[in-house]
A and B are shown apart, each in its own frame.
Chain A
Amino acid sequence: MSESTLPPAAAHVGDDVQRVDDAAKLTGGAMYASDLVFAGMLYAQVKKSPHARAKILAINTSKAKNLPGVHAVLTGKELDYRIGLYVVDKDVLAKDVVRHFGEAVAAVAAESLDIACRAVDLIDVEYEVLPPVLNQLDALDENSPLVHPDLGSYDYVKASFSPQPGTNIPNLTKIRKGDIDAGFAEAKWIVEREYTNPSVQHVPLETHVAIVEWKAGDEVTIWSSAQSPFTLRDLFCRAFKLPHNKVRVVIPHVGGAFGGKAGIHLEPLLACLSRKAGGRPVKFQATREEEFSLLPCRSALTYKIKTGVGADGRITAQKLLMYWDSGAYADYAVNVTRASAYSAGGPYDIPNAWVDAYTIYTNKPWGTAYRGFGHVEFFWGLERHMELVAEVIGMDPLEFRKKNLLKPGSTTLTGERINEHTGNPLKCLEAAASAINYGRLTPEEQERQARTGRRIGKGIATLHKAPAMPSFTSTAAVIKMNSDGSVVVNIALTEIGQGTATVVTQMAADRLRFPVSRVKVAVERDTDKDPFDWQTVASKGLLLTGNAVIAACDDLLRQAYLDAAQVLRAQTVDLDHDGEKIFVKQRPEESVTFAALSIGYVYPNGNGIGGPLIGLGRYTAQGLTSLDKETGQGLPALDWTYGAHGVIAEVDPETGEYTVIKIASAFDVGKVINPGTMRGQCIGGMIQGLGTAECESYIYDDQGHLLNPSLTDNKILTAKDLPEEIECIAVETPQLDGPFGARGVGEHPMISVAPALANAIHDATGAELTHMPVRSEDVWRAIHNRLPVDTWVTKAPAV
């Protein structure tokens, strides 16, 4: 065999390889945490607060305890454990006070779900209702009640966050670039406006579910729908002061997550119930209603943007003030705030910038990570504002954006220099604009407009995002060869639907030069068996885990070559391999199969050498730094994925009703590993983004009661709500440190869909939309309440 017969270097990467988890999921055979049942298992239920803010005066659990079949009843008074990702501010069960509607104040574990439900009904709680803090701007008032009076005593991650004791602010992130005053002095125009969006729900089809068993000797096992097994274990062990080797976290198939299942949720409570119930496993699955308020949501945001523009249309300065409503607990919101702050200006070259990003406590369900990690929220304001500024200065919005886009040599808000390998936002923007015939109506569209009386408008919006993660984020992969020469890959990056198992299979197969059929990525994640991964979040998995998998393949091959060199009496440099065997380059007939080497080579006389082939690969984000707390300068970004959306909308100018005719989106992913799964990520994100753009929103009354905790009153898009046409476009500017040149795209398709839609509606009708979601009635109101654009201009050239 000559080298020319070898499979090409990339036989599967870039190809439409079918998902490796299809068969299990299509036949009902895939087991999710919600499907698991264990012998002796108990069912938990929680008693929830009907108030947003109240003192707990008394809890009477005696009737519940006496109900036959009840094995454990707990209240906050008995539990002295606090949890928190970055700011440790949440008791396992509310103690003395409740801080949001739906908060857990007591819990039971019983032999059946029915008994557990009856038991929580028998718990009486006496409250003293207090006026809630519901608006994050009000919460900044010095006379506002404090959601956490003890903020100053809480533990927190000091390298990254800055809580302000005596206030409702668990974090303030500052970015300072250039000279903001000089930048505004230089500006011909200054445009200032405020944009808002509400909290929304992730709505994974599988609600949060976990089973926890805390046996004698502190042996804890957690089966959970969580995204991040190692972070869950770490946070759990911190709360209970347990060594990591006492706690095992197992993650089976996960029914959607979108960030809402990152971190830690009800696992500590279930653990306490299990311990109290003699170590029996205790299961809890949130109802859909509980998913809205017992579990976290996405933070609301008020974004105040002040932009200075020079005579040439270049942005000279930008002051960006973010007010994030974190709800009752800091959780991920403090890091959403931080990650949004350093991305806050979008993919634009802004020489002088000032960002103050506040995380603010209120008495509402708390905000957590959600696909886009803040970027869906702030890009709403930013890309609406870019449209407004373009209108003020009389420039086409596409040209205005193009003039200000980052390009090689530009620096980001934190001082990172962009180069030609970082990615190409211009190509994304041009592709999206071209796909919707931006700036004009086609003859068909003109005809349609004339026929229907509805106005057609076109809008564009850009986006960027880098993974929000610690500067030293690391991961590992282990690849083990079976005795038939097939391999199993162990990683702790969870498969939550995004297609990780499939693309890892492709990358491993190509690096090994094996067919994909010989590669399996283990389904379950298990902290006792899998190598460490920080979290399955941030669109960082493909790059970090991909690199670790490549390193693991190389390590396995290195060992196989060493053993083969001995068997073939050759040096490793004399060897090459194909999908079956390692052979001597100049005499390919002298070869040994991987199967023969896999668990140790056996000579004809029975002697054995070598041993099981196991490759280990590690990868740590390279060269990133913490951000300076006063200036925000540093290197936070593993990689930047750029993108853009184009939307064609059709609006009834009488009623404000609208539909989306087309959405076209382009992303610079470096290298497409799997077109089918990438397209799936894109469309899924685009439609999820369209859902939050069109209709999704938490609605509260003036006492902080959540009014719409259901899929009837908080609709997500159905198949009937799809645009008539959806187009996904890949740009491939290779990421130099990415596996096969690839970078992540899991979150990005959801970002900036809303402003692209609103820009299209604005194009069609002139409606100025500043609040999302954009419902038909909002469009109607905006059409009928138009103010002149100079309402928001605070500096303009003399006429």
Chain B
Amino acid sequence: MWMSVEVNGHIYEREVTEHWTLLRFLREDLELTGTKDGCSAGECGACTVMLNGQAVNACMVLAAEADGATVETIEAEAVDGELSEIQAAFARNYAVQCGYCTAGMVMSVRELLEHNPKPTVAEIKEGIEGNLCRCTGYQQIIEAVLDVSGQIDSKSRGGLKYV
């Protein structure tokens, strides 16, 4: 079907394969490969994008459903080569390892902070529960969210202890 969608501020008008997901549309048609495919089944959250301001698993939405919608992906998070505050906090707190879950994780954190600028640890855990990460054990991601929401200082930052 013919569709029109705004992605990262650009209007795309495209013929889209009816059974394709938004994830395949973004990655294969628009070549926005920053959004990752970890399971194609809504289990891992690696493909999380913002659809009309809401975080969704792009593998669980048909591309056709995004007709007329606004989509934001990781490619729009940094502006003019400058990392966003969320991205910078991830970097400061070692919240990235292999990086494959990172795009989806940043999207979920963004949605969380838009609704709840100072989330508690429990709320952060709830907010990123749908995003699996196999490398970090999540802790440094949680610390990054506390950091970017102004709830951590150099003293309370989680650190390595030496004996």
Contact = CB atoms under 8 A, between A and B. Distances in A.
Contacts of B142: 719, 722
A25 B105 CA distance: 12
Interface stretch (A31-39, A477-485, A646-654): A31-39
A758 interface: no
Interface in B93-152: 93-94, 96-103, 106, 124-126, 128-142
A683 interface: yes
Contact of B99 (A25, A257, A677, A711): A25
Contact of A26 (B32, B41, B90, B98): B90
A700 to B, nearest CB: 21
A206 B46 CA distance: 9
Contacts of B78: 26-27
B1 interface: no
Given A431-B163, A711-B39, A727-B161, A18 B91 contact: yes
A516 to B, nearest CB: 14
B87 interface: yes
Contact of B94 (A34, A680, A719): A680
A159 B124 CA distance: 52
B59 to A, nearest CB: 10
Given A675-B159, A684-B136, A288 B39 contact: yes
A747 to B, nearest CB: 13
B98 A204 contact: yes
B83 interface: yes
B35 A28 contact: yes
Contacts of A431: 163
B158 A679 contact: yes
B105 to A, nearest CB: 10
A728 interface: yes
Contacts of A726: 137, 139
Nearest to A681: B97
Contacts of B98: 25, 204-206, 253-257, 496-497
B38 A206 contact: yes
A666 B162 CA distance: 9
A731 B163 contact: yes
Contacts of A772: none
Contact of A729 (B73, B77, B94, B161): B161
A34 B132 CA distance: 18
Given A497-B98, A730-B161, A255 B125 contact: no
Interface string B69-89: 000011101100001000100
B91 to A, nearest CB: 4
Which of A19, A205, A258, A731 has the largest count of B CB atoms less than 10 A from its CB? A205
B76 to A, nearest CB: 9
A730 B162 contact: yes
A684 B135 CA distance: 5
Given A26-B96, A712-B41, A722-B138, A679 B159 contact: yes
A678 interface: yes
Contacts of B106: 26
Contacts of A678: 160
A609 to B, nearest CB: 40
B14 interface: no
Which of A203, A285, A686, A720 has the largest count of B CB atoms less than 10 A from its CB? A720
B43 interface: yes
A74 B163 CA distance: 59
A688 interface: yes
Contacts of A30: 99
A-side interface size class? 35 or more
B40 interface: yes
A794 B102 CA distance: 53
A712 B132 CA distance: 12
Interface in A738-769: none
B45 to A, nearest CB: 9
B33 interface: yes
B44 interface: yes
B161 A728 contact: yes
A37 B31 CA distance: 10
Contact of A34 (B37, B128, B136, B137): B37
B-side interface size class? 35 or more
Interface string A723-739: 00011111110000000
A111 interface: no
B136 to A, nearest CB: 5
A25 B96 contact: yes
Interface string A682-703: 1111111000000000000000
A29 interface: yes
B99 A683 contact: no
A329 B133 CA distance: 29
Contact of B160 (A18, A498, A675, A722): A675
Given A253-B99, A497-B99, A722 B137 contact: yes
A718 interface: yes
Nearest to B128: A719
Contact of B136 (A204, A683, A710, A731): A683
A35 B74 CA distance: 15
A565 interface: no
Contact of B44 (A285, A672, A711): A711
B83 A684 contact: no
Contacts of B139: 683, 687, 722, 726
Nearest to B159: A675
A657 interface: no
Contacts of A24: 99
Given A28-B103, A718-B132, A680 B141 contact: no
A315 B48 CA distance: 54
Nearest to B42: A712
A427 interface: yes
A203 to B, nearest CB: 5
A720 B46 CA distance: 17
A676 B33 CA distance: 28
A245 interface: no
A683 to B, nearest CB: 4
A28 B33 contact: yes
A716 interface: yes
A228 to B, nearest CB: 16
Contacts of B135: 205, 256, 497, 680, 684
A22 B96 contact: yes
A719 B125 contact: yes
A669 to B, nearest CB: 10
B46 to A, nearest CB: 6
A732 B101 contact: no
A499 interface: yes
Contacts of B136: 680, 683-684
Contacts of B160: 672, 675-676, 678-679, 682, 728-730
B122 to A, nearest CB: 9
Contacts of A31: 33
B104 to A, nearest CB: 9
Given A688-B134, A716-B132, A680 B36 contact: no
Nearest to A26: B87
A280 B121 CA distance: 50
B33 A22 contact: no
A23 interface: yes
Given A35-B33, A677-B94, 11 more contacts: A19-B96, A26-B96, A28-B103, A205-B46, A288-B38, A676-B93, A679-B160, A683-B136, A711-B44, A726-B137, A728-B160
Interface of B: 17, 27, 31-41, 43-44, 46, 73-75, 77-78, 83, 87, 90-94, 96-103, 106, 124-126, 128-142, 158-163
9 contacts: A21-B99, A24-B99, A31-B33, A34-B36, A205-B98, A256-B98, A256-B134, A666-B163, A722-B125
Interface of A: 18-19, 21-32, 34-35, 37, 114, 202-207, 253-258, 285, 287-288, 427, 431, 496-499, 666, 672, 675-680, 682-688, 710-712, 716, 718-720, 722, 726-732
Rank and list the top 7 A-B pairs by shortest CB-CB distance, nearest first. A28-B34, A25-B99, A497-B98, A255-B100, A687-B137, A497-B97, A28-B74
